[in-house]
Amino acid sequence: MYSWLSVPSYWRSRSRRYMLIGGKCNNCDYKFFPFRRTCPRCGSHLISEEKLPRKGRVLDYTVVHNPPRGYEYYTPYVIALVELENGAKVLTQLTDVDPEEVKEGMEVEMSLRILRVCGESGFIAYGYKFRPVVK
């Protein structure tokens, strides 16, 4: 690989990691996330990358009280299925909201956040989460 790149620099350079880059089927016009080389609807390989909208609405959600190892500090947290403005769906964590305030249909927007701090090394993993739309 590139020895001159640090691990954080490498991941910051990966557009799909921090920007919502999904796929658009040029055969059936289906939009999806995450990006794949095959359309999940029609099986076509005529796929192009598409930057997805950063806003959407909550379709459904659950509150996690018993998390997997490494996420105990963050409980309770909300995992939601968000439908973006173009119809693509994203499974994501919600942030900046109390679990009791989350409702189906709630308008949300993407935000770059810390996903977790890893062990004794203190490595910080960043990624996207969604928060209520700031009006």
Greater pLDDT, 99 or 14: 99
> How big is the chain by its Cα radius of gyration, in Å?
17
Average pLDDT, integer, range 78-104: 96
Greater pLDDT, 18 or 37: 37
Residues in the chain: 135
Do 60 and 113 share a domain, yes or no? Answer: yes
Do 24 and 76 share a domain, yes or no? Answer: no
Which positions ≥6 away from 123 have C-beta within 8 Å? 7, 117
Do 47 and 76 share a domain, yes or no? Answer: no
Do 96 and 106 share a domain, yes or no? Answer: yes
Point out the domain boundary residue: 14, 30, 52. Answer: 52
Do 48 and 75 share a domain, yes or no? Answer: no
Q: How many CA atoms lie within 13 A of 26 on its CB side?
A: 7
Q: Which of 22-31, 59-68, 92-101, 126-135 has the lowest mean pLDDT?
A: 126-135
Which tokens in the block code for residue 92? 């994501």
Average pLDDT, integer, range 29-53: 94
Do 125 and 69 share a domain, yes or no? Answer: yes
Point out the domain boundary residue: 27, 52, 77. Answer: 52
Return the ∠ at Cα 7 (arms to 5 and 13), rounded to 5°: 70
Render pLDDT for 59-77 as a digit per residue (tens, 0 to 9). Answer: 999 999 998 887 777 789 9
For residue 121, what is the domain's CATH number? 2.40.50.840
Q: How many CA atoms lie within 13 A of 103 on its CB side?
A: 4
List beta partners, residue 44: none
Do 93 and 36 share a domain, yes or no? Answer: no
Q: Which domain holds residue 29?
A: 1-52
**Count of the separate structural domains present in the chain:** 2
pLDDT at residue 3, rounded to an integer: 47
pLDDT at residue 54, rounded to an integer: 94
Do 84 and 134 share a domain, yes or no? Answer: yes
Chain-centre distance for alpha carbon 73: 20
Average pLDDT, integer, range 114-132: 82
Do 70 and 129 share a domain, yes or no? Answer: yes
Do 28 and 59 share a domain, yes or no? Answer: no
